[in-house]
Chain A
Amino acid sequence: MMRLIFSLFVAGLSRRRLASILSFIAIALGVALGVAVNLVNRSALDAFEHGVRVISGEADMQIIGPRQGFDEALYARVARLDSVEVASPVVDIEAPLADKPGSLRILGLDLLRAARIQPGLSPKLDSTQASESRFAADAVFLSSAAMRELRLEPGQTLRVKVGLAIRDLRVVGTLHGGEDGARFGLMDIAAAQLTLDQLGRLQRIDLRWAEGVAPSQARAQLAGLLPPGLTLVQPEAAAMQAAALSRAYRANLGMLAVVALATGAFLVFASQALSVVRRGAEFALLRALGVSRHMLLTGVLAEGAALGLLGGLAGLALGFLFAGVALRVLGGDLGAGYFSDAPTALSFDWPTSLVFVALGFIAAVAGSAWPARAAVRAAPAPALRSGYQPSVPKLPTRRRLGVGFLLLAFPLAAIPPLGGLPVAGYLAVVCVLVGAIALLPALARRLFAHLPAMQAIVFDLARQRVAGASGQAVIASGGVLASVALAVAMAIMVASFRDSVDAWLDRVLPADLYVRAGRIGQAGGLDAAAQMALERMPGVARVEYVRHEQIRLPGSVLPLSIVARRIPAEGAGALFPMQAEQRVAAGDTPIWISEAAQDLFGWRPGMAIELPFGGVYRSFKVAGVWRDYARQNGAVLIDLAVYRRFNADALATDAALWLAPGASAENVSAELRQRFGAALDIVSAGEIRRSSLALFDRTFAVTYALEACAVLIGLFGIAASFAAAVAARKKEFGMLRHLGLTRGQIGATLACEGALTAGLGVLGGLAAGGLIGVLLVRVINRQSFHWSMDFSIPWLSLLGFSLAMIASAALAARLAGAQAMREGALRAVREDS
């Protein structure tokens, strides 16, 4: 039975070579995308987690606080507790490199104690270095990954920026234990405090509980010691934070891969549906020879299964290949900037990879299900008659079903995210797609019936053909619809996002020049003297400062970003696009929250909230919600004077400079450079805008690749269905040749049919894509990244894309038909007569 099925059905796939290969490629591509996206994400998370494990070692808990650190006196109090076996103080600084872009994470550990908590981190002094140099103020050990990436060797110098100064660090050895791509440096804690301007401060304390102490008891004992703003977290929290921040991004990429796979399923459906019709006579003969309905059903399904299995396995291999290339070219976060440590090796995640293979298999079998049932239902007798002209049955119009699905999308869109993921939003997208495809036959009938009659015979033939056999057109255009909808939706989303970011950058970058000395988590900044010097620079009319900081709220894995700026008299709305701005009562301190802060912490305008500053909880009133594309984890804007009052921190991270009339940016930059040295970053608003948009484009580069694949698969659908249909229409073409049409004219007819078919799909795809675009902008992006954006439609690109799609479809149809036409069409007519 198996062999029979194989020889009667599966082996037949090789006879319909083009259609089979295209179906195979579609499934393989879909599976490959899913596998690759998943592997790259897995590898990046694994590398990150490995780094976290190496760095936090066997710590049971960690004390963390504001990014700028906390008073080291806490260390002595904590270490004295009976429940604490080892307390290891940590300085943790992201140091910008002086000679190249980027930064390096530098840990300052007590090298004598660290071995008891971080046994995996063994600093090995290079043989050329004197033994005491490991404690020298400029001595740094580099992980092998850092050594490799920075192209440094022991004995060489690493130059980093610390505030406005540049410090030379001497590479004294290698860190073993950091092999797997974790990129960081290690110094003795005393050296780190001195050289990285952290005297008296710690960023973290790693703890190991004494034996026999219940963790809950130890935590309770410790909690009493921690001032507001410091929290006790599991060492895994850092990995969880990275995973949480990137999860929505990863989920969105995964969904794109699944949509590509669904398009592939549609392609299998299209080619199988048409091939079943074409083999009507063959199947009838088999039935007459005693092949059961059941076996027929099994046979057609087996064809799909074979395609799915082969495509899935090829996709698996291809996915590994893609992932390897993507990792090398784009990095572990596929260019999105979530992970600083590039994974050096792929983590093979077999279970999830095999899920994608299974999805490919299921897609192919599901795509064959309707064609298989159609094959079984066909009455054998008419098909056995000579002169039988196979045709696709008119597809049922499931108008009510389609409308129902479309309507269902609305309530789904209103459902809040599940576990931080827009699950209902994805379901709404599926509803729109299913609804649109269900409505496609109705659209086809409406559209083709009303196409005007045309003078040119070629066009008119095509028009009549698609109107008469709308079933075939609908099947082929379904795949186009799905892929166009995806592409259109993504285009709308990206355009909306990009335009909004562009407008946002305009708003937040009003000054001419920006200077920066240190970023969050980096040492130093502009101190009072530097600020005064800035204000007195010739050519500088006005200076505004920003202090960036991150604080920890109890119970939250994610840090909250603080943006402290002078709030102008006209309100905070002058600084950021602001909604729900309101005045607070005279005694209240206003604070403005970002949309992400609103979503993540549940704060609302007018609400009173408490935040830990300088070891004390301070009360604020939420005075507005602002749009923040720079920080996904939530941010609050507070007045700089208020921040300084609460923090005893007079440093500024950034300064915005307005030039005096007639002053040139070049001259002022040059003077700044001369006055402050190379450690100061000086950029114009234009440069920030350009680099921000470049980062944006890089982030979306991968989604473009996924879209391109989906579009390609949609075009394959057209090609495959035409290849199948043309073979079935040999007689028709023979007749047309007989009637005097040239081969070229028949080819043109086919191209027109392809264009009309694709046009139907493109129209449906535009409509569905528009709806999905709204869902992406308003629901999925908002829920995933907490970013609102203004809806904008890239009309011109969509028009160009639609025309290109239709033209490509015409070409694909023409090419697919060419093979069939080469075989003597006249012979086909002769056979008939």
Chain B
Amino acid sequence: MHLSRRRLLAAAFALPWLQSARAAAYPPVVPRRLVFPRDHAAHPEYRTEWWYLTGWLSAPGVPDFGFQVTFFQVRPGIAEDNPSAFSPRHIVIAHAALAWPGEHRLLHDSRAARAGFGLVGAETDRLSIFLDHWRMEVRNDGLHVRVDSRDFALLLDGAPPPPVLLQGKDGWSQKAPGKEHASYYVSMPQWPLRGTVTVKGQRFEVSGRAWFDHEWSSELMHPEAAGWDWAGVNLNDGGALMLFRMRRQDGSALWFGGTWRKASGETLRFGPGDIVWETLREWTSPRTGWRYPVEVRIRVAGRELQLKPLMDDQELDSRRSTGAVYWEGAVTAFEAGQRIGRGYLELTGYGERLNI
């Protein structure tokens, strides 16, 4: 679903025409050995690619809060024969949101622009994506993220990249029945960050841990799929857990997937049949009227986790600008009443049928 998620977001963020699946020759997604740091950088020949950073931050004097910064690069496959430097061969879309408890809803902003002129784009030799003044990049001293919007700004610096967690088969992650529904998917959980967050003119020194995902593919969402649920949790013991399910229109699961890397380094991989995903509580959005399963119980590998949201209203409603509505929010993971970790939960396709 990552693949699909990013597609969804891409489509949502703006750009209905990005759905066009015309003729451009995209490389197939087949299992191969990923090489780093090269594969942290962009793969512009693929249809879609995204870099996704979520996490919880702490600042003195305020409750802990969640943040999300995502950069997409899309190759729509249009106007590729136009020699103009403005030709929209690649579109970069950036999205940032802050789950600031005092606000009771997300602060968010998004941008979209065609790559070019060194102003917008993604490097192919190192992790570096930029859209005007917004950027996410890894330099020698570590990760740097800069996002500023009218309501908030994030200036985050991370340590050098932590060990990669290759999802699926060595980074080849299947999303639905059929080998063609796959993506390359690399995570770097437990990434320590510090920096400053400015909310409505007030500046906070922050620190915390992030979950980093990087995924690229040439494929479209499975035709039977209506949406998906995804969670990535940094566990308190140093472990990392990623789980997803792809849903049909009737709510039944089309596919499951997941990975648990324990603190010891042992890694468990899950497929369909390994995961049970139950709704504990639904929240109805006052804006869209859509109902999201914001509190869930997940049974996997003989354990039983509960995910509870930082706040209920973490719906991203950008219909006015781009048309996409989904729920993406900070959650806390509990097991037997104990808090065992914190992460992000994504719930898509709960309203109108997604047109991807």
Contacts and interface: CB of A to CB of B under 8 A. Distances in A.
Contacts of A199: 83-84
Contacts of B88: 112, 135, 188, 190
Contacts of A190: 79, 82, 84-88, 114
Contacts of B16: 131
Given A112-B91, A193-B86, A200-B85, A135 B117 contact: no
B83 A75 contact: no
A135 B80 CA distance: 11
B42 interface: no
A164 interface: no
Nearest to A193: B84
A744 B76 CA distance: 93
A132 B114 contact: no
B86 A110 contact: yes
Contact of B118 (A76, A132, A193): A76
Contacts of A32: none
Contact of A112 (B22, B83, B113): B113
A112 B114 contact: yes
Nearest to B88: A135
A132 B86 contact: no
Contacts of A738: none
A200 B84 CA distance: 7
B84 A189 contact: yes
Contacts of A89: 86
A194 B114 CA distance: 16
B114 to A, nearest CB: 6
Nearest to A210: B133
Nearest to A131: B17
Contact of B113 (A113, A132, A188, A200): A113
A86 B120 CA distance: 13
A72 interface: yes
A675 interface: no
B112 interface: yes
Interface in B94-142: 112-114, 117-119, 132
A79 B14 CA distance: 22
Given A112-B113, A190-B86, A199-B83, A132 B22 contact: yes
Contact of A132 (B76, B87, B112, B132): B76
Nearest to A137: B82
Contact of A135 (B19, B78, B85): B78
Contacts of A673: none
A131 B16 CA distance: 7
A131 B20 CA distance: 7
Contacts of B76: 132, 135
A191 interface: yes
Contacts of B86: 72, 89, 110, 188-190, 193
Contact of B79 (A76, A79, A137): A137
Contacts of A133: 17
A690 interface: no
A827 interface: no
Given A75-B117, A131-B19, A132-B76, A194 B85 contact: no
A218 B20 CA distance: 40
Nearest to A202: B86
Contacts of A76: 117-119
Contacts of A188: 79, 86, 88
Interface in A132-174: 132-137
B20 A194 contact: no
Interface string A33-45: 0000000000000
Interface string A60-88: 00000000000010011001100000100
A130 interface: yes
Of B16, B83, B88, B150, chain A has the most CB atoms within 10 Å of the CB of B88
A130 B76 CA distance: 13
Most buried by B among A112, A133, A137: A112
Interface string A86-117: 10010000000000000000000010110000
B27 to A, nearest CB: 20
B354 to A, nearest CB: 15
Nearest to B77: A132
B109 to A, nearest CB: 12
A130 B22 CA distance: 11
A71 to B, nearest CB: 11
Contacts of B114: 110, 112, 190
Given A80-B119, A110-B86, A190-B84, A136 B78 contact: yes
Given A132-B22, A135-B88, A190-B88, A79 B78 contact: no
B199 to A, nearest CB: 16
Given A75-B117, A112-B114, A130-B20, A191 B79 contact: yes
A110 B84 CA distance: 12
A194 B82 contact: yes
B117 A194 contact: no
A72 B87 CA distance: 13
Nearest to A115: B321
Contacts of B78: 132, 135-136
A194 B83 contact: yes
Contact of B112 (A112, A131, A189, A194): A112
A72 B132 CA distance: 17
Nearest to A91: B86
A80 B82 CA distance: 25
Nearest to B91: A112
Nearest to B118: A76
Nearest to B15: A112
Contacts of B132: 79, 86
Interface in B2-34: 14-17, 19-20, 22
Contacts of B15: 112
Interface in B43-84: 76, 78-79, 82-84
Contacts of A191: 79, 82, 84
Nearest to B79: A135
Contacts of B22: 132
Interface string A696-739: 00000000000000000000000000000000000000000000
A395 to B, nearest CB: 76
Which among B20, B82, B112 has the greatest number of chain A C-beta atoms within 10 A? B82
Contacts of B20: 130-132
B244 to A, nearest CB: 28
Contacts of A112: 14-15, 88, 91, 112-114
A720 B83 CA distance: 76
With most chain B CB atoms within 10 A of its CB, the pick from A76, A86, A130, A132 is A132
Contacts of B87: 190, 194
A75 B119 CA distance: 10
B50 to A, nearest CB: 18
A72 B82 contact: no
Contact of B17 (A72, A134, A137, A189): A134
Nearest to A132: B20
Contacts of A132: 17, 20, 22, 76, 78
Contacts of B113: 110, 112-113
Contacts of B117: 72, 75-76, 79
B155 to A, nearest CB: 14
Instruction: Indicate the member of B85, B86, B114 with the most A CB atoms within 10 Å.
Output: B86
A136 B81 CA distance: 10
Contacts of A80: 119
20 contacts: A72-B86, A72-B117, A112-B15, A112-B113, A112-B114, A131-B16, A132-B20, A133-B17, A135-B76, A135-B88, A136-B79, A190-B82, A190-B87, A191-B79, A191-B82, A193-B82, A193-B86, A194-B87, A200-B85, A211-B150
- Those 7 A-B pairs whose CB atoms lie nearest each other, nearest first: A132-B20, A76-B117, A190-B86, A131-B17, A190-B84, A193-B84, A190-B87
Interface of A: 72, 75-76, 79-80, 86, 89, 110, 112-113, 130-137, 188-191, 193-194, 199-200, 211
Given A190-B84, A200-B85, 4 more contacts: A110-B114, A131-B16, A190-B88, A193-B86
